[in-house]
Amino acid sequence: MGTIGEIQHNQPIHFRLTLQFKSDNLKSKVDMTAKRVLVIDDEDDIREVAQLCLETVGGWEVITAGSGREGLAKAEAEVPDAILLDVMMPDMDGSTTFQKLQANIVTQDIPVILLTAKVQAAEQRKFAQLGVKAVLPKPFDPLMLVHQIAKVLGWTT
């Protein structure tokens, strides 16, 4: 057995995920009206997987941002129906980004769902006190992401 190549430390691993559905059962439980979701995450792979799932399963329009600052600008310009926000990002973390969204009259009413690897009870309580709609753990199940968001936001039929 040979080696194809080596993975260097701290180098991103890129992959392409293709989803194929055998039935429309997943789609039938979600309100398929044109929803727009802004995904703010500093990890390219997470943004790509979330976008693919939200577009494919939910039929939603997805806008992406790679940082809190970019996310703030896109949220104000695009005014999405919801924001999926990573907690741990460099420069401006998710908590700070959320506080800035709340301070802006244009974005303060957009529901925000946090994505985090911090799933301890104390962290969950801290996030809930911020006023976010929900906290979803990372890694998330790509096939269930649409349903989790739809359920939290009341977008189910």
**pLDDT at residue 31 is higher than 80:** no
Residues 6+ apart with CB under 8 A from 155: 30, 31, 35, 149
Q: Distance of alpha carbon 94 from its chain centroid, rounded? A: 11
- Domains along the chain? 33-153 (3.40.50.2300)
Predicted confidence at residue 32, as pLDDT, reads 53
Q: How far apart are the first and last CA of the chain?
A: 52
Q: Is 141 left (phi over 0), alpha (psi -120 to 50) or beta?
A: beta
Q: How confident is the model over 43-99, as pLDDT tens digits?
A: 999 999 999 999 999 999 999 999 999 999 999 999 999 999 999 999 999 999 999
Predicted confidence at residue 8, as pLDDT, reads 43
What confidence tier does 119 reach under pLDDT thresholds 50, 70, 90? Answer: low
**pLDDT at residue 142 is higher than 60:** yes
**pLDDT at residue 135 is higher than 70:** yes
What confidence tier does 122 reach under pLDDT thresholds 50, 70, 90? Answer: confident
- State how far the Cα of 60 lies from the Cα of 31, in Å rounded to an integer: 10
